[in-house]
Structure 1
Amino acid sequence: MPAVAVPAFALTWWLGCYLVARDPSRALLWRAAGALGAYAVAVAVWSVAPGSVAAEVLLCVPALCWAGVATALLPPGVPERRRAELGWAAAVPVFLGLAVALPGLGKLVVVAPLIGAMVLLLLHRGQVRPHPLPAALAATAVLYAASLGVLLASGDLGPAEPVLVAIGLDLVLFGFLVAVADAVEAGERLAPDLRRSFVAAAAAVLLCAGPATLTMLAAPRTAAVIVPQFVLIAVVLGAAGLPGPMRTVLDRVAFLHQDRLRRDRAELLMAAEALPRRRERHRLIALDEDEFRRLTRRALDDIGDVARLLRSPLVELPTVERRLHTRGAGAAEQSLVRAVELRAVLVEQVRELKPAVGFDTTAQWRHYNALHFCRVLGLRPYDRDPRTDGLDRDAVRAVEWFRGQVPPESLEQWVREGAELVADRLWRDLVATDPRWLTRAVSGVRAVALVDRSNTTRRP
């Protein structure tokens, strides 16, 4: 069992940590990590007590997490999404309780939410990116459910180890598909970042998992020996999958009273983490208009998050390039400066939506008000106690207006419409810019003149 359990535990635990590290604020990634982590713990429990109820229940948990992932992948505009999310949250404790109470194959009741969520995702597969994702997830879910049924079946159907491995492989494929979905949603590259993390995980497995396996083989079925070995592997593989958070914790301990040093290191490490995930420059011009609009909406949503702007493909926009050349030759190669300039470009585009000086609540102001106050300034007017300290008079009036007269649905619609207006202008600038900008074939003042000339010729 250790020869099977240790690699299965290590691989799924690392992949779960990697998914969380990609973006700790996304519920989609936490749910997928929950499925992988539950399987890893189930393998550890099975190593100590094969066939135990605790191990079987833990092997059922990924089905519930998988259902949550499927609901999170539903397009935002789908009317059923909110109901599906609420239904999933209510169903998890109910079906988990049934899995604990029912014996044997009765535990397969946990597959019911997964079936419902996957059917809903397949019905809207035309709006999911990438388009093959729902079908791939459905096929993997079928294999997982079949393997789980074999494992839970009563009677001796042979050794459980091959079935456990099959379930692990299904969940690894599931985790990879979720990582692909997240990368496509963010407009990022996946392969370089995943490869870097996997190399670190492979090194950790060679250094740690091998000796741990030999230790378990020397003391089979001894919980006092097996449990510490799995804890050690979890810590080492967690460090490989969560390098950024681990470095942050270590910096807080090592540089306890050196705030500026911690801040400077955090900025540099943030840029280093973003580089493998950023798209190449030549891929930006290859985007279709719909994808460009979606990425612009996402950049406006993330306008206050420098880490996400660093990874956005829009940091390579020609308008950002023009601003960088005015800073000097070295600025174009500084990732943090690119993120700052992208934010400045987005703020300028939002400011251009302002109809006049001052503040008003007429229809002409709705797009500017929605984007400026709720995205650029980051105000949350519908919170129970919205923040108003330090705000100017216009911002306070805007918060009161949103809370008293604007339904949340209308505000979100205005944000989307305003983002479309911003995306239109940025798209026109992109397609009208001289293609030589892509290769940086020209530089300095000549580059600025080139892109400025393209801006004048694109206007009728």
Structure 2
Amino acid sequence: MSLAAFGLAWWLGLYLVARDPRKPVLRRASAGLVAYAAALALPVPPVVLAVPAVAWTGAIVCRLPERYDRWWRWSAVPLLVAAWFLPLVVLPPLGFALLLYVRRTRTLLGAATLMFLLGSALVFTGFTPSVWLIASIGVDLLLFGVLVALRDAFDEGEAIRADMVRSLLGSAGLAAVFGGQVALFLDDRLTPLLYGTVAAAIALQVLANPLAAVVDRVAVPTVAAERAELREAVEALPKLDQRTALDELDLVKSTRRALSGYGDLGRLVANPLTRLPVIDARLAARGAPDQPLERAAELKSLLLESILRLKPRDGEFGTSDEWRHYNALYFYYVVGIRPYSRRTKREDLDPNARKALAWFVNQVPERTLHNWQNAGAKLVAADLSARVPD
């Protein structure tokens, strides 16, 4: 029983962070699940049971105004240090975050948080037998993780059921194959080996793409990027939303996501815009096969055409109001300049791109650029909607 709970928590924790390790909400939810799995498998100190509460609080504040997230970042480590002496100290921040969240939106996530809060309080006080309570906390954590994954998929415009089931079945299969061999000869001395084998098998399945990317960069660096793009496209297929009819709001959201993934065919493959009738017509017109990568490439071409339609006709670069939407989309997404990133330096920019970069850095606040991109995405979405197949 504990092995199954460990496997589920470990798998879901890795699955969340593998979706997009750049997102704080996914990293924090993952940390809570991984800490819970560690508490089941290892003789860890009681403070480890406080990690899920702190991580859950951090995931919730991601849905609250920015100031609460700053408070969490500053207080997370001190809370864990204090929890070493008094585990209950991690619960008031979680209760406060729950109250703020429920006031803004009443969802199943709030109910799961409440149950987790009550269960954690009982465990930390030793009021009732901890075995069943820890199991109930695990159920709450799994529910929380699934809800976080569903919300992330909704935000990204992706389908998630097929991808999640595929990952779960693959992980369970590998865990059964390798863990089963250890279980055949199991005794008390081999129990840690059993948990370690199951953990390694699940990690190899869930993290197969990142691990393959590391190997490629070492073994075949000349084609590592191309292989990574193909793997991302394959991984994206189960996430594709098969709807061909999108309402106005979904069309704008999908366009915004397509623009943010303009240079990544793997991300474009999972975008529902690839199912637009105009894509079908364009593929048929040039006799191209109806393949996911072909659809993604055609969508990329469509996006570029729509962006170029926004370009004024009075030159190659300008900074007047009529240029702002074109500049915000073309130079940021198509050319790929990142004016506010210190880590991204481009030496291959043409003169117009250099002018645009200097203009963004010196005269355009980051928030203003973001607003222009949102407005530009609406214009591109309207242009895509107006495209009627020939």
What is aligned with 2:171? Answer: 201
- 1:270 deviates by 2.6
Distance in 2, Cα, partners of 1:263 & 1:383: 22
**Larger displacement relative to structure 2 (10-19 or 241-250):** 241-250
**Does residue 348 in structure 1 map to residue 305 in structure 2?**
yes
What is aligned with 1:121? Answer: 101
**Does residue 70 in structure 1 map to residue 32 in structure 2?**
no
Distance in 2, Cα, partners of 1:299 & 1:239: 30
- Specify whether residues 31 and 249 from structure 1 end up closer, same or farther in structure 2 by C-alpha distance, changes over 3 A only: same
**Does residue 11 in structure 1 map to residue 8 in structure 2?**
yes
**Does residue 28 in structure 1 map to residue 9 in structure 2?**
no
What is aligned with 1:139? Answer: 111
Distance in 1, Cα, partners of 2:110 & 2:323: 45
- 1:213 deviates by 5.5
Q: How does 1:35-434 map to 2 (within 5 A)?
A: 35-45=32-42, 48=43, 54-74=44-64, 81-102=65-86, 107-125=87-105, 135-154=107-126, 157-158=128-129, 160-210=130-180, 212=182, 218-219=187-188, 225-249=190-214, 251=216, 256-257=219-220, 259-260=222-223, 265-280=227-242, 283-285=243-245, 287-330=246-289, 333-356=290-313, 357-384=315-342, 387-429=345-387, 433=388
Report Cα offsets for 1:216-268 as digits up to 9, x if no partner.
6x22xx6xx44333222211111222232244345556xx24744x5554444
5+ residue gaps, structure 1, are: 49-53, 75-80, 126-133, 434-450, 453-460
Is the partner of 1:284 in helix, strand or coil? coil
- 1:327 deviates by 2.7
- Specify whether residues 170 and 209 from structure 1 end up closer, same or farther in structure 2 by C-alpha distance, changes over 3 A only: farther
Q: Check conservation: 2:182, 2:193, Cα contact below 8 A.
A: no
- Specify whether residues 350 and 119 from structure 1 end up closer, same or farther in structure 2 by C-alpha distance, changes over 3 A only: farther
- Specify whether residues 96 and 377 from structure 1 end up closer, same or farther in structure 2 by C-alpha distance, changes over 3 A only: same
Q: Check conservation: 1:388, 1:396, Cα contact below 8 A.
A: no
- 1:315 deviates by 1.1
Is the partner of 2:84 in helix, strand or coil? helix
- Structure ID, larger Rg: 1
Report Cα offsets for 1:70-113 as digits up to 9, x if no partner.
22235xxxxxx2212211211211211111122xxxx2221233
Distance in 1, Cα, partners of 2:309 & 2:278: 15
Specify the code of the residue in structure 2 equivalent to 1:207. Answer: V
Q: Percent identity between the aligned chains? A: 38
- 1:35 deviates by 1.0
Is the partner of 2:263 in helix, strand or coil? coil
Q: Check conservation: 1:21, 1:244, Cα contact below 8 A.
A: no
Distance in 2, Cα, partners of 1:70 & 1:150: 21
Distance in 2, Cα, partners of 1:263 & 1:361: 35
| CA RMSD across the alignment | 2.3
**Larger displacement relative to structure 2 (169-178 or 385-394):** 385-394
- 1:373 deviates by 1.2
Report Cα offsets for 1:417-447 as digits up to 9, x if no partner.
1111111222333xxx5xxxxxxxxxxxxxx
5+ residue gaps, structure 2, are: none
Specify the code of the residue in structure 1 equivalent to 2:386. Answer: R
Distance in 2, Cα, partners of 1:203 & 1:89: 38
- 1:364 deviates by 0.9
TM-score normalized by the length of structure 2? 0.92
Report Cα offsets for 1:151-175 as digits up to 9, x if no partner.
22246x33x3222211111111111
Q: Check conservation: 2:230, 2:266, Cα contact below 8 A.
A: no
Q: Check conservation: 2:232, 2:267, Cα contact below 8 A.
A: no
- Specify whether residues 55 and 7 from structure 1 end up closer, same or farther in structure 2 by C-alpha distance, changes over 3 A only: farther
Give the paired residue count: 389
Is the partner of 1:101 in helix, strand or coil? coil
Structure 1: which 4+ aligned runs deviate by more than 4 Å? Answer: 210-216, 249-253, 262-265
Q: Check conservation: 1:28, 1:72, Cα contact below 8 A.
A: yes
Specify the code of the residue in structure 1 equivalent to 2:238. Answer: P
- Specify whether residues 18 and 344 from structure 1 end up closer, same or farther in structure 2 by C-alpha distance, changes over 3 A only: same
- Specify whether residues 298 and 268 from structure 1 end up closer, same or farther in structure 2 by C-alpha distance, changes over 3 A only: closer
- Specify whether residues 329 and 421 from structure 1 end up closer, same or farther in structure 2 by C-alpha distance, changes over 3 A only: closer
Q: Check conservation: 2:231, 2:266, Cα contact below 8 A.
A: no
- 1:390 deviates by 1.1
Distance in 2, Cα, partners of 1:111 & 1:301: 38
Distance in 2, Cα, partners of 1:258 & 1:367: 37
Distance in 2, Cα, partners of 1:238 & 1:101: 33
Specify the code of the residue in structure 1 equivalent to 2:14. Answer: C
